[in-house]
Amino acid sequence: MWGVIELFYESGTLVATGASRPDLPESFVWDGRTHQWRAPASAYRETVLWLRAAEIPHEDRASAFGKLPLESRVALEPRPYQREALAAWRQGPPGLRGVVVLPTGAGKTAVAVSAMERVGRSTLVVVPTLALLKQWYSVLSDAFGASVTVGLLGGGYHEITPLTVTTYDSAYIHAERYGDRFALVVYDEVHHLPAPKNAIIPKMLLAPYSLGLTATPERPDGGHDLLPDLCGPVVYRRSPDDLAGTYLAPFDLVRMPIELTAHERFEYAQAEAVYKDFLEKHRLPMRSPEDWQRFIMVASTSHSGGREALLAARRRREIREGAMRKGATLETLLRRHWDDRVIVFAKSVEEVYSLSGRFLIPGVTYETPARERKEILDRFREGRYRAVIASDVLNEGVDVPDAGVAIILAGSASRREYVQRLGRILRPKGGKRAILYELVTTQTGEEHTARRRKEGFS
């Protein structure tokens, strides 16, 4: 006859007392210092189900989850795919745990709000940026403000309530302190979760239920393979093509080849020769971001041609991203879409400032103060600015006003970045087609980069 096993939460871990090894899942290890069985807090769900299935007497003194009867004041009829996503998340497997993949503008937040209503328990929402912290606070306050106070953890706030919004950074710092408070965790932009520091967060939370939201779960480092353990498997996925024309704006993808001038071709060939000679000399492949980092390390420490190789790599990038005919083509496109709202995406901060001055278009980079950024985007929303030019800062985490045209002057090989940029123009516009232009410099590394970011895209 078993004794009664007691479960406790202690600083990010789940503690079991009164148990022997056969009573518990394999995630538990013996802590000789305290003479207790101990597991990561994330083992809570598995442990409770294990004890119930084995009919082992136990008392749950670990969780401090509160019931949260939520009913949204925003009476919006969910779209069919949103209902499908919620049903797939609820039914599993493993049930009330998993990742929903929807394009930008498809209403991932609405799926999360419905999930919170259905679960009806204390909820933590984790976001990557302070801008998204404020957006989620506003959405949840509008939806549930009559029945619950929305707490904030991060950005100078430390207000913990049964419905709290926090950042990944703040969750990492405070998870072991509040890990017993929340039954459901919503991870917005869940592709950030497998990062080494962020991956610790779910291990310190008891939360038996989790919902991940993203437009693109894949990570260049392969970290998305960790998502099933951290948050749950992908349970529902729709692409921009799946929803275009009905729930998102129909769109066209237009690739525009850009040729270098004779002088640019000569300079590019010189830089290319120095760069490739160094790669061959040191037997360095160049197939992934990790390979690029390895090149930087080797070149930075090499006493034989390393500095020259780094300068050559930089010059290659400057020539192909800042090709003279790209500027001329951009001018043509801006004239063609004079009556449309246009977002121009450059890669480097320097290019943003250069083109901003040339075309008198407001530029937004990570250096732009928050107040100035808000003013620029507000004026863009109001139509006072018809175009903005930005670096990576507008890819995610910023509430970008609707636009109908996007122009990619330069970008990475990341499929996520590509989908995020496309998503900026996909909100419905009364049947009007959105257009994404890619300006790709021919006979350079940009052609390979453009192919890689569109691999598997549909």
Nearest C-alpha neighbor of 128 from the set 452, 424, 455, 420: 420
- Residues 416 and 367 occupy one common structural domain: yes
- Single out the residue in 238, 273, 297 at which a domain terminates: 238
Same domain? For 341 and 283 the reply is no
- Number of CB atoms found within 10 A of residue 86's CB: 22
* Alpha carbon separation from 165 to 72, 96, 156, 177, 231 (Å, rounded): 17, 19, 13, 15, 17
Q: What is the pLDDT of residue 88?
A: 96
Amino acid at 204: M
141/214 same-domain check: yes
User: Higher confidence at residue 448 or residue 158?
Assistant: 158
Query: How confident is the model at residue 455, as a pLDDT?
Result: 64
pLDDT band at 89 (very low <50, low <70, confident <90, very high): very high
CATH of the domain at 397: 3.40.50.300
Cβ–Cβ < 8 Å for 437, 405: yes
Say whether pLDDT at 396 is over 70.
no
Evaluated on CA atoms 69, 74, 76, 80, the torsion sign reads negative
* CATH code where residue 13 lies: 3.40.1170.30
DSSP state, residue 205:
-
The arithmetic mean of pLDDT across residues 77-85, rounded, is 92
User: Residues 255, 358: one domain?
Assistant: yes
Query: Tell me, what's the pLDDT at 122?
Result: 96
Q: What is the pLDDT of residue 457?
A: 53
Is 271 inside any structural domain? yes
pLDDT at 182: 97
**How far is residue 395 CA from its own chain's centroid?**
9
List pLDDT tens digits, range 116-127. 999 999 999 999
Return all residues near 129 (Cβ < 8 A) that are at least 6 apart.
Answer: 167, 396, 397, 398
Shared domain for 395 and 301, answered yes or no, is no
Please report which confidence band the pLDDT of residue 395 belongs to, taking 50, 70 and 90 as the band edges.
low
End-to-end, the C-alpha distance of the chain in Å comes to: 58
In the predicted model, is pLDDT for residue 254 greater than 50?
Answer: yes
Averaged over 384-400, what is the pLDDT?
77
The number of domains in the chain is: 4
Percent of the chain at pLDDT > 90 equals 60
Can you give the pLDDT at residue 397?
A: 57
Tell whether 153 and 296 lie within a shared domain: no
Q: What is the pLDDT of residues 286-321, one digit of tens each?
A: 877 788 889 999 999 998 899 999 999 999 988 998
Q: What is the pLDDT of residue 427?
A: 74
At residue 288, the pLDDT reads: 77
Instruction: Tell me which residue of 448, 425, 430, 446 sits closest to 103, measured CA to CA.
Output: 425
- Within a domain: residue 346? yes
Residue 73 placed within a domain: no
Q: Which of 225, 255, 122 minimizes the C-alpha distance to 182? A: 122
Do 101 and 226 belong to one domain? yes
Q: Could you give the residue ranges of the DSSP H alpha helices within 54-129?
A: 80-91, 108-119
Check pLDDT > 50 for residue 93.
yes
Alpha carbon distances (Å) from 131 to 77, 271, 398? 27, 40, 6
Strand partners, 67: 121
Question: How high is the pLDDT of residue 458?
Answer: 47
Residue 233: partners with Cβ closer than 8 Å, 6 or more residues away: 98, 99, 227
User: Residue 398 — pLDDT band, cuts 50, 70, 90?
Assistant: low
In this prediction, what percent of the chain has a pLDDT beyond 70?
94
- Residue 100 shares a structural domain with residue 215: yes
Q: Are residues 185 and 311 in the same domain?
A: no
* Distance from C-alpha of 338 to C-alpha of 268, rounded to nearest angstrom: 33
Q: How far is CA 347 from CA 51, 321, 325, in A?
A: 53, 8, 17
pLDDT range class, residue 1, cuts 50, 70, 90? very low
**Longest pairwise C-alpha distance within the chain:** 87
Strand ranges inside 142-225, DSSP E: 150-154, 157-159, 163-167, 184-188, 209-214
- Supply the mean pLDDT for the chain: 89
Asked if residue 12 is part of any domain, the answer here is yes
Neighbours of 28 (CB within 10 A): 20
Measuring CA to CA, which residue among 210, 164, 166, 197 is closest to residue 45?
Answer: 210
Which of 278, 294, 321 corresponds to the end of one domain? 321
More confident residue, 288 or 334: 334
Q: Is residue 407 part of a domain?
A: yes
11 inside domain: yes
458 domain residue, yes or no: no
Q: Taking each helix axis as running N to C, give the angle between helix 306-321 and helix 445-453, from 0 to 180 degrees, rounded to the nearest 10.
A: 70
Mean pLDDT of 111-140: 92
Domain range spanning residue 285? Answer: 262-321
Same domain (yes/no): 445, 351: yes
Q: Which of 297, 321, 345 is the last residue of a domain?
A: 321
Instruction: Write down the pLDDT at residue 399.
Output: 64
Is pLDDT of 392 > 80? no
Mean per-residue pLDDT, 47-67: 93
CA distance 367 to 355: 16
Token pair for 418: 């590509």
Residues 113 and 216 reside in one and the same domain: yes
Helix (H) or strand (E) holding 16, with range, is strand 13-17
pLDDT mean over 433-451 = 87
Report the SS3 class of residue 329.
helix
Q: 220 and 92 share a domain?
A: yes
Tell me whether strands 251-258 and 342-345 are parallel, antiparallel or unpaired: unpaired
Distance CA 210, CA 297 (A): 39
pLDDT greater at residue 432 or residue 151: 151
pLDDT number for residue 334: 94
Looking at residue 107, its pLDDT comes to 87
In a domain, 120, yes or no: yes
Give yes or no for residue 15 having a pLDDT over 90.
Answer: yes
Does the structure show a pLDDT above 70 at 109? yes
Tell me the three state secondary structure of residue 52: helix
What pLDDT score does 57 carry? 92
